[in-house]
Amino acid sequence: MVIAVYPGSFDPIHNGHIDVIERAARIFDRVIVALANNDAKTPCFSLEERRLMAGEALKEFSNVETDILNGLLIDYVQAKGAGVVVRGLRAVSDFEYEFQMALMNRRLGGEIETFFLIPSEDHTFISSRLVKEVARLGGDVGSFVPPHVERELIKKLL
């Protein structure tokens, strides 16, 4: 059984994330969506709020679960018995950061592989930051996030 971990802040989860998760769920036996805080970002939603929104968005995938990640990713991946870290690449601008992270993870946990997935071209421009910005300014984010996430954004930001 190949277990993959897809880490991220998912603040909030959007259709680009879901597209990558759907692809990963077809490839791996089990996918753990690991929600984490990013010290470089100020989250809009708490970890638990993000976990609940992600769980609702992913409930149709029987081999996908959500969890909260605290601490070092490699320690988490090893504790879960996973062999793969999944990362999404939207654009060339993502590559340099993701490449550095993959090499660091390889150094820290040599047996763990990083698997890059590219979302559908319909979703490559979506980011949580842009979704929150559009929602904060009163724009329609319904085509970028599931309906329940849109409702939570509106409640939180407006």
Task: Give the three-state DSSP class for 16.
Answer: helix
- Catalytic residue, chosen from 90, 106, 136, 156, is 90
Quick check: is 26 catalytic? no
Which distant-in-sequence residues (6+ apart) come within 8 Å of 140 by Cβ? 134
Quick check: is 90 catalytic? yes
CB 3 within 8 A of CB 32: yes
- Catalytic residue, chosen from 17, 87, 123, 132, is 17
Quick check: is 50 catalytic? no
- Catalytic residue, chosen from 14, 50, 128, 132, is 128
- Catalytic residue, chosen from 41, 59, 148, 151, is 41
- DSSP class of residue 45 equals S
Determine how many CB atoms are found less than 10 A away from the CB of residue 62.
8
Active-site annotation, residues: 17, 41, 90, 128
